[in-house]
Homo-oligomer: A and B are copies of this chain.
Amino acid sequence: MDAQSSFRDVLIQSGHLISTGIDGLYGRGRIFEEIVSGLEAQVTEAGRQDGAEVMRFPPAIARQDFEISGYMKSFPDLAGTIHSFCGDERAHQRLICEMVDGNDWTSQQKATDLVLTPAACYPLYPVVARRGNLAPEGHLVDVYSYCFRHEPSLDPARMQMFRQREYVRLGTAEQVLEFRETWLRRGREIVERLLLPMEIDIANDPFFGRAGRLMSDAQREQRLKFELLVPVNDATKPTACVSFNYHMDHFGEAWNLHDWEGRLAHTACVGFGMERLTLALLRHHGTDISGWPRELRTLFWGNA
């Protein structure tokens, strides 16, 4: 299992992943989904006492909100816009002819008002901003969503569509930094309970192009992003399974989010990569769950 493709093959042969013929797009079997549900319960339990507001969005956001976010400046290659056919019956005839002839029929497709959600927290900022200034204690939101990133890869830990479970804190710099500290601890505790090897390190987002390298350097210098890494596909290049992000007032400025005193709000989020954590468990404890340590089987499937 040295090559990236071979862990993927094992996952497919054992029925945990279902091949769709597209790199990075997989169906999942029952056990895989039970592990995802169990992880979700762990994250919920860790945050229960905080009383976060639960928001669940479908995997798309309004294009206008997406444009405001600045995502296309930083990660244009990863975004997925949703396009539809808007023509009449004649245009439809042409489309079908293109399809039959094996030509590109997608050039007629027009952009809709929707863009695929790039990270689970994006849809909530404009919603919270429309409510007016934050309360003195700020706000805390619990989100869970499919996300899309256009990065076809043989690495099963780099999917094009995957689920992120996040908590998002909005408030003053002090409030959101304290939140991030709390979750750095809780994230480590959760992954310790999963009996997985880990390290936590400073990280950067994959900003696009040469200007992007400057952004990445600045992000690292300012210690804005930490990742909890677990070896999944490659022992020498562990995979980020949880990330802890301080956005400063980037989203506050983009969406006009203000704290109770009218200053730009700061935000931070902790995001759990549900597929990546599941893959880490299958990698370290085996694809046959009957061989997992007893405490883990109890954690996920009770005492049955």
Residue numbers of A with Cβ under 8 A of B are 18-22, 25-30, 32-33, 53-62, 64-65, 67, 72-73, 76-87, 89, 92, 95-96, 99, 104-106, 109, 111-114, 116, 123-124, 126-127, 146, 148, 150, 152, 159-162, 208-210
Q: What's the number of copies of this chain in the assembled complex? A: 2
Q: Which of B26, B99, B116, B127 contacts A82 (CB 8 A)?
A: B116
Name the distance in Å between A238's Cβ and chain B's nearest Cβ: 24
Contact (A25, B112) CB under 8 Å given A73-B96, A80-B82 = no
| B residues near A79, Cβ cutoff 8 Å | 84-85
Query: Which among A96, A99, A148 has the highest number of chain B CB atoms within 10 Å?
Result: A148
Contact A114–B84 (Cβ < 8 Å): no
Indicate if the CB atoms of A29 and B58 lie closer than 8 Å: no
**A-B pairs with lowest CB-CB distance, top 4:** A58-B161, A106-B111, A30-B54, A84-B150
Interchain CB contact under 8 A, A55 and B27: yes
- Residues on B with C-beta less than 8 A from A64 are 21
**Alpha-carbon distance A108/B77, docked complex (angstroms):** 12
Do B65 and A21 have beta carbons less than 8 Å apart?
Answer: yes
From B54, B83, B86, B148, A81 is in contact (CB under 8 Å) with B83
Cα-based distance from A67 to B104 in the complex (angstroms): 11
What is the interface of chain A mostly: helix, strand, loop, or mixed? Answer: mixed
B84 & A22 in contact (Cβ 8 Å cutoff): no
Query: With a CB–CB cut-off of 8 A, which chain B residues contact A86?
Result: 77
Q: Is the CB of A150 within 8 A of B112?
A: yes
The residue of chain B having its C-beta at the shortest distance from the C-beta of A147 within the complex is B58
Q: Report the Cα distance A210→B208, complex, angstroms.
A: 47
Of the candidates B89, B95, B116, the one whose C-beta lies within 8 Å of that of A210 is B89
Cβ B83 vs Cβ A83 within 8 A: yes
Q: Per a CB cutoff under 8 Å, which of B18, B59, B113 touches A22?
A: B113
Instruction: State A123–B22 Cα separation when bound (angstroms).
Output: 12
Q: Using Cβ atoms and an 8 Å threshold, which residues of chain B touch A162?
A: 58
Decide: B116 and A62 in contact? CB cutoff 8 A. no
Tell me how far the C-beta of A187 lies from the nearest C-beta in chain B, rounded to whole angstroms: 23
A19 vs B34: C-alpha distance in the bound complex, in angstroms?
31
Contact present for A127 and B18 (CB under 8 Å) = yes
Cα A25 to Cα B123 with chains together (Å): 11
Residues of B within 8 A of A83 (CB): 80-83, 106, 109, 111
CA distance A55 to B26 in the complex (A): 10
- Docked CA distance A143–B24 (Å): 19
In contact, A148 and B109 (Cβ under 8 angstroms):
no
A106-B85 in contact given A21-B65, A59-B146 (Cβ < 8 Å) = no
Question: For A112, what are the chain B residues with a Cβ–Cβ distance below 8 Å?
Answer: 80, 150
Q: How far is the CA of A25 from the CA of B89 in the complex (A)?
A: 27
CA distance A166 to B303 in the complex (A): 30
